[in-house]
Copies of this chain bind each other. A is one copy, B any other.
Amino acid sequence: MDFSLTPDLLELQQRTRAFIRDKIIPLESDPRQTPHGPTEEFRRELVALAAAEGLVAPHVGVEYGGLGLSHVGKAVVFEESGYSLLGPVAMHIFAPDEGNMHLLEAVASTEQKERWLRPLASGATRSCFCMTEPAPGAGSDPAALRTTARKDGNHYVINGDKWFITGAEGAAFAIIMAKDDDGNATMFLADMDTPGIEIVRTMDSLDHAFAGGHGVVRFNNLRVPASDILGEPGKGFRYAQVRLAPARLTHCMRWLGTARRAHQIATDYALRREVFGSKLIGHEGVGFMLADNEMDIRMSRLSILHTAWTLDQGARGTVESSMAKVFVSEAVWRVVDRSVQVLGGQGVTGETLVARIFNEVRGFRIYDGPSEVHRWSIAQRIGRNGANW
């Protein structure tokens, strides 16, 4: 049992922290931010700043320009990045790119890696992951997949509708999940400018931090050569799992950093503001909320680190990552909601960053599996195997 970090990782943590504090936070009021994330120009400037520090896509292997971080390494570094909403953009480790890089690195062919992973890992391009579909298609229940990939000689012809496709607008390429003629799910790679890919619209959403927002995408006789199948045909669901458990966990990491920020702002305010004759922090009603914040933050970190370590051991970590997702997404939410409350009127205005954070994190209790789906899947496992403590 050892909860300490290696000196290298500690150094990287401090370096990332300093980078976010000194280079990124000062840019938080840059006007080049839209409801669908920073503009591409601004994004590139942010990435360039991270590149200057060697902090772009640090989870990717060294041969693709990253630092080859372990899951534990990611836990430490990604948390730091999330301390600013611009941090994960700058370090190019936001959804869906971070998870797409992970997936490509794990299952793509060498050629595919050169063509798609290398520019992605450098931050030169963005990507999207086209799995979720409007009802009655694949949402919380991926088995309901309706997008089809019909074999046609050496090509596949893909038809279907997708939505909640984060980063679609402005992405260079897409990973597409579709059902082949045998009813098996297969993943395809396709450049976004291929004929047959239409971005129908970008959805309005509470969160504004994701570059490219969340798109509605239509595939209309999209032709993809068989050589652009990602990995092997029919393994779409297995690959989705390869991507999902870690991707879910990296959300936990980044949003934990963001929750820390909200807590820091609320705490600074409570130490400064006087009301009814004493500092806000001196009122137990406020002090208890901040104490609960610190407990939620620390417990979340433990949950993330334990799950990351489990993945680093080579385990699938399905249960661990489900539990981490539920615990952390709910704990982060409590932290942010309490931070709003501590700030009082200012908490629901643009006077601090917390109102913005409030809107950014609400979706996290929903995407990558709502709490209810994870609880259900944990319960199903109990139903099969009995108590597992």
Q: What separation, in Å, do the CA atoms of A288 and B382 have in the docked complex?
A: 10
The answer to whether the Cβ of A186 comes within 8 Å of any Cβ in the partner chain is no
- Residues from 275 to 326 in A contacting B, C-beta threshold 8 Å: 275-276, 279, 281-288, 290-292, 294-295, 297-299, 302-303, 305-306, 308-310, 323, 326
Interface centre among A163, A294, A355 (most CB of B within 10 A): A294
Contact yes or no, B375 A348, CB < 8 A: no
Closest chain B residue to A296, Cβ basis: B327
Contact yes or no, A139 B345, CB < 8 A: yes
Q: A214-B349, A267-B387, A344-B140 are contacts. A305–B1 as well, Cβ < 8 Å?
A: yes
Q: Which residues of B contact A268 (CB under 8 A)?
A: 386-387
Stretch of A88-96, A111-119, A120-128, A363-371 contacting B (4+ beta carbons < 8 Å): A363-371
Q: A285-B284, A340-B362, A370-B341 are contacts. A309–B380 as well, Cβ < 8 Å?
A: no
Q: Which residues of B contact A372 (CB under 8 A)?
A: 283-286, 288, 341
Stretch of A18-26, A54-62, A145-153, A204-212 contacting B (4+ beta carbons < 8 Å): A204-212
Contact yes or no, A379 B291, CB < 8 A: yes
Closest chain B residue to A312, Cβ basis: B1
Q: Which residues of B contact A327 (CB under 8 A)?
A: 295, 299
The answer to whether the Cβ of A7 comes within 8 Å of any Cβ in the partner chain is no
Closest chain B residue to A264, Cβ basis: B387
Q: A305-B1, A358-B206 are contacts. A382–B294 as well, Cβ < 8 Å?
A: yes
Q: A267-B382, A309-B3, A387-B263 are contacts. A323–B298 as well, Cβ < 8 Å?
A: yes
Contact yes or no, B344 A375, CB < 8 A: no
Q: Which residues of B contact A376 (CB under 8 A)?
A: 283-285, 287-288, 291
| Min C-beta distance of A168 to chain B, whole Å | 14
Q: Which residues of B contact A345 (CB under 8 A)?
A: 132, 139, 163-164, 363, 366-367
Categorize the interface residue count of chain A. 35 or more
Q: Which residues of B contact A389 (CB under 8 A)?
A: 260, 263-264, 294, 297-298
Closest chain B residue to A355, Cβ basis: B206
The answer to whether the Cβ of A82 comes within 8 Å of any Cβ in the partner chain is no
Q: Which residues of B contact A378 (CB under 8 A)?
A: 287, 291, 294-295
Q: What separation, in Å, do the CA atoms of A353 and B58 have in the docked complex?
A: 39
| Min C-beta distance of A213 to chain B, whole Å | 10
